[in-house]
């Protein structure tokens, strides 16, 4: 099963929920999910002061594309800050994070698996 078909709808109709890791400063709006494949398209929000260090470096078995809509955050492993208007495309297995933000950040993410 792939992600379901949706026509345009107001993203604001989708509530933010706390992400894995249970940090209330790190939340997501799941816009579309492939339940079988375990991937989703989402809006990710780090509130000011959020720090994902307890979750450590992230490595996924899926593709992940990220566009920063607002704010900035710092990849603590790389020691680099990424800002609004920047984009990343991460293949499966690419390490990234953990992240910290002083001002907060809002990203749009599309996650998917390669065709077999």
Q: What is the pTM of this model?
A: 0.92
Taking each continuous run of H as one helix and of E as one strand, the counts in the chain are: 0, 8
Q: What percent of the chain has pLDDT over 70?
A: 97
CATH superfamily of 17-112: Jelly Rolls (2.60.120.10)
Per-residue pLDDT tens over the stretch 85-107: 999 999 999 999 999 999 999 99
Structural domain spans, the chain: 17-112
Q: What angle do CA 64, 66, 69 make, to 5 degrees?
A: 160
Per-residue pLDDT tens over the stretch 26-35: 999 999 999 8
Q: Rounded to a whole number, what is the distance in angstroms from the first to the last CA of the chain?
A: 13
Per-residue pLDDT tens over the stretch 7-21: 999 999 999 999 988
Q: Which residues contact 4 (CB under 8 A, 6 or more apart)?
A: 32
Instruction: Note the pLDDT of residue 15.
Output: 97
Q: How many CB atoms lie within 10 A of CB 26?
A: 22
């Amino acid at each position: 099963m792939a992600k379901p078909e949706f026509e345009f709808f107001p993203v604001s109709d989708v509530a933010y929920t706390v992400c894995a890791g249970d940090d209330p400063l790190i939340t997501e709006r799941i816009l579309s999910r492939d339940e079988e494949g375990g991937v989703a398209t989402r809006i990710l929000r780090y509130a000011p002061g959020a720090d994902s260090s307890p979750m450590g470096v992230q490595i996924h078995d899926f593709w992940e594309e990220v566009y920063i809509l607002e704010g900035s955050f710092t990849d603590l492993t790389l020691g680099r800050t990424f800002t609004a208007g920047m984009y990343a495309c991460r293949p499966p297995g690419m390490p990234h994070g953990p992240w910290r933000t002083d001002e907060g950040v809002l990203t749009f993410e599309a996650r998917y698996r390669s065709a077999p």
